[in-house]
Structure 1
Amino acid sequence: MNHVPQIKIPATYMRGGTSKGVFFSLQDLPEAAQVPGRARDALLLRVIGSPDPYAKQIDGMGGATSSTSKTVILSKSTQPDHDVDYMFGQVSIDKPFVDWSGNCGNLSAAVGAFAIHAGLVEADRLPHDGVATVRIWQANIAKTIVARVPMSDGAVQETGDFELDGVTFPAAEIAVEFMDPADGEGPMFPTGNLVDDLEVPEDVAAGGVLQATMINAGIPTIFVNAEDLGYTGTELQDAINGDTKALARFETLRAHGALRMGLIQNLEEAANRQHTPKIAFVAKPADYISSSGKHIKADEVDLSVRALSMGKLHHAMMGTAAVAIATAAAVPGTLVSQAAGGGERTSVRFGHPSGTLQVGAQASQVDGEWTVDKAVMSRSARILMEGWVRVPGDAF
């Protein structure tokens, strides 16, 4: 029996923020995968090692979590005044699909660095020493991201002393600005309300109604109060991810919120849109011990937030969800703002399972509708490995 040999594709394995992913230059992909469609999805699934009924991704580059089952495709930008076009694919672990419906805020920090390494940014835009401003077109959601990447001796500086909760070792700081981060063409609050009474099944909330703030900023996100679900907002991963009933409850809640936000037409569609919307629960500040054993004091944060990604509680906080948190916190009256003590603010520091994170955002009302110009956070990124990734030649 004849077997098709493996092919090799230039690729770079990078950490960005608290996520990891496989990065490709568009022109390096096989011709069939250079355009969106079945071949591209099949290739990326095989690269990451999905679908895997064992949920381990042993036969691929994935790390069996939503934070490590990610792919990025970059090319020189087709947009005026931008350096690079950025496509993000969230690869399902146990199902045969790639979700292209949103961005990854954490890997956005690595996009600027990779773009420079790959020669996608014009040399005359790069300082020999200083900070390079990389203008990124996020093609999934048609938004601009600006990454400010440190340069040293003509190359990207990756090492440094910037510490990020959820990442073990320090690295160089990269400031990431999400411009006009309201996601999609509709209003930032798709229902027109800062807080909705969301109808859900009785097994999700007693009485079949749950208060929710639903926002399109950074990534579509549904915020609910932790106490309304019987939580404190200080939970770590094991408290949620080991509870199959809790995970099913969150997924049902997410589906009903997605329907109310107009992201899906019926509840069944939520199963094929796992990346968006996100679901998060918020609470007033409280003392807790992070997953690394670090003691977080209530007076160190404005609120506590726990968020789920791809059906599991995230080990830290998704970058795009952090944008949603900061934006919602800047709008008085949302559940996020209420948990943070109310009032107007231009930045928020919140507690998550791995520690704390501060994000800036300034919101304002224009013609009665809320808008936000940009959200800003600091992340770090570095190349972990570069070379070629190999896949069977008939994988796509």
Structure 2
Amino acid sequence: MTNSSCQAQLQSQIKVPATYMRGGTSKGVFFNLADLPSDAQVAGEARDQFLLRVIGSPDPYAKQIDGMGGATSSTSKAVIVSKSRKADHDVDYLFGQISIDKPFVDWSGNCGNLSAAVGPFAIHAGLIAKERIPTNGIVTVRVWQVNIEKTIVIHVPVVNGFVQETGEFDLDGVTFPAAEIQVDFMDPTDSSGSMFPTGNLVDDLEVPDIGTFNATLINAGIPTIFIDAESLGYIGTELQDDINNDQKALAMFECIRAYGALKMGLITCLEEAETRQHTPKVAFVSKPKTYLSSSGKEVAERDVDVLVRALSMGKLHHAMMGTAAVAIASAACVPGTLVNLAAGGGEKKSVTFGHPSGTLKVGAQAKSSEQGWGIAKVTMSRSARILMEGFVRVPATVFDK
């Protein structure tokens, strides 16, 4: 009999140490692997059932009232961190995107926003040696991202021996300022194939009954399908309600996503797209224009290189996914992609893009070789903060399923 089963006989709910954190423009429940119930310490159905119940899914009401989720793709997330088994790394980081209304956890990609919180959490959880933590300065935390098998380097500021969480750094999409955290995504392109899986910078993506679109299909940070906004009938300044209240538009984007996944070789048949909601992402781009962000702040045409709107888990994102920002910067810095052309073309080392909540600048080191294009590193600034710590409670019967 497992430890979790024994607990179930003694109490109606089990409590598990957890930390609720904001990272970038996302929120999630963070766990130290060693603190999880024994059944959930290994990958499989038991772990998935546990995380679903923690977050409050599946919820046919799409509210996640009986869990820690916030009923959006940005707030329906879980993170598991442990001492790294990888040489020259401090911690291993596993990310789960929890479906809101369906009973599954998508492990196919990373969360770039929550990546910023992994470094602070690792320090807070005692996974970084005390002698590594200065009284004042920066702790460089080397993270092995298990989902995509990539290295992320997180530069965590420390003041008086503690992680600095408050500060003056403003991040569009987050209401309050906080301390700035630099996040480096090392060699973020697909290790098993080309950064451009079809071998082309621009493809013709045929979507039956919808149309054929020019598309840049890229696998950097997270697999992403970029399409020109005008070809979809948009101008590129759309906000969430413009897309998310249009069921016909959402169905179109999901269809594009499925056919794009097939063309990228991520799935072998269209039906598989239903169980791979986290990847790929779909985004549409346009040349700079002045618009009002979701907070009412003006984003001036002169302040951005390109406009990007991206969908996550079937809905337009309120800001920008961190991993999609990696894809945007990577595509923008390779001459000839749709993102690069919308940003004015030519060689670039960084890009500032406009999203529904404001702007974000991301740097990328593109490199060309006989094997094709690659990206050495993508760098962006994020922030992170502990919102609550203690225990989550779930019914002990969660492991009986």
TM-score band, normalised by shorter chain: over 0.9
Identity of aligned residues (%): 73
Alignment partner, residue 212 of structure 1: 215
TM-score, with normalisation over the residues of structure 1?
0.98
The CA deviation at 1:3 is 10
User: For the Cα contact (< 8 Å) 1:328–1:334, is it kept in 2?
Assistant: yes
Alignment partner, residue 132 of structure 2: 125
Alignment partner, residue 327 of structure 2: 324
The CA deviation at 1:124 is 2.1
Q: What is the alpha-carbon distance in structure 2 between the residues aligned to residue 41 and residue 211 of structure 1? A: 37
The CA deviation at 1:336 is 0.2
Residue 6 of structure 1 aligns with an amino acid whose one-letter code is Q
- How does 1:253-332 map onto structure 2 within 5 Å? 253-332=256-335
Alignment partner, residue 15 of structure 2: 8
User: For the Cα contact (< 8 Å) 1:7–1:392, is it kept in 2?
Assistant: yes
3-state SS of paired residue (1:187): coil
Report the more deviating stretch, 125-134 or 284-293. 125-134
Q: 2:68 aligns with which of 30, 52, 61?
A: 61
Q: 1:49 aligns with which of 42, 45, 56?
A: 56
Q: 1:153 aligns with which of 157, 160, 166?
A: 160
Q: 2:97 aligns with which of 90, 93, 103?
A: 90
Q: What is the alpha-carbon distance in structure 1 between the residues aligned to residue 377 and residue 48 of structure 2? A: 31
Residue 273 of structure 1 aligns with an amino acid whose one-letter code is R
Gaps of 5+ in 2: 1-8
Q: 2:351 aligns with which of 336, 348, 351?
A: 348
Residue 59 of structure 2 aligns with an amino acid whose one-letter code is D
Q: 1:337 aligns with which of 337, 340, 345?
A: 340
Paired residues in the alignment total: 391
3-state SS of paired residue (1:115): helix
3-state SS of paired residue (2:178): coil
Q: What is the alpha-carbon distance in structure 1 between the residues aligned to residue 250 and residue 132 of structure 2? A: 47
Alignment partner, residue 174 of structure 1: 181
CA RMSD of aligned residues (A): 1.0
Q: What is the alpha-carbon distance in structure 1 between the residues aligned to residue 126 and residue 108 of structure 2? A: 27
3-state SS of paired residue (1:293): coil
Matched, 1:115 2:118: no
Q: What is the alpha-carbon distance in structure 2 between the residues aligned to residue 17 and residue 241 of structure 1? A: 22
Alignment partner, residue 194 of structure 1: 201
Q: What is the alpha-carbon distance in structure 2 between the residues aligned to residue 377 and residue 74 of structure 1? A: 22
Q: What is the alpha-carbon distance in structure 1 between the residues aligned to residue 132 and residue 190 of structure 2? A: 29
Matched, 1:376 2:348: no
User: For the Cα contact (< 8 Å) 1:218–1:323, is it kept in 2?
Assistant: yes
Alignment partner, residue 28 of structure 2: 21
Q: What is the alpha-carbon distance in structure 2 between the residues aligned to residue 265 and residue 201 of structure 1? A: 17
The CA deviation at 1:366 is 1.0
The CA deviation at 1:126 is 1.7
Q: What is the alpha-carbon distance in structure 2 between the residues aligned to residue 121 and residue 101 of structure 1? A: 27
Q: What is the alpha-carbon distance in structure 2 between the residues aligned to residue 273 and residue 183 of structure 1? A: 17
Q: What is the alpha-carbon distance in structure 2 between the residues aligned to residue 27 and residue 362 of structure 1? A: 37
Alignment partner, residue 77 of structure 2: 70
Alignment partner, residue 6 of structure 2: none
The CA deviation at 1:4 is 5.8
Q: Deviations over 1:103-131 (max 9, x none)?
A: 00000000000000001112222221101
The CA deviation at 1:318 is 0.1
Residue 166 of structure 1 aligns with an amino acid whose one-letter code is G
User: For the Cα contact (< 8 Å) 1:184–1:216, is it kept in 2?
Assistant: no
Q: 1:101 aligns with which of 94, 108, 128?
A: 108
Gaps of 5+ in 1: none
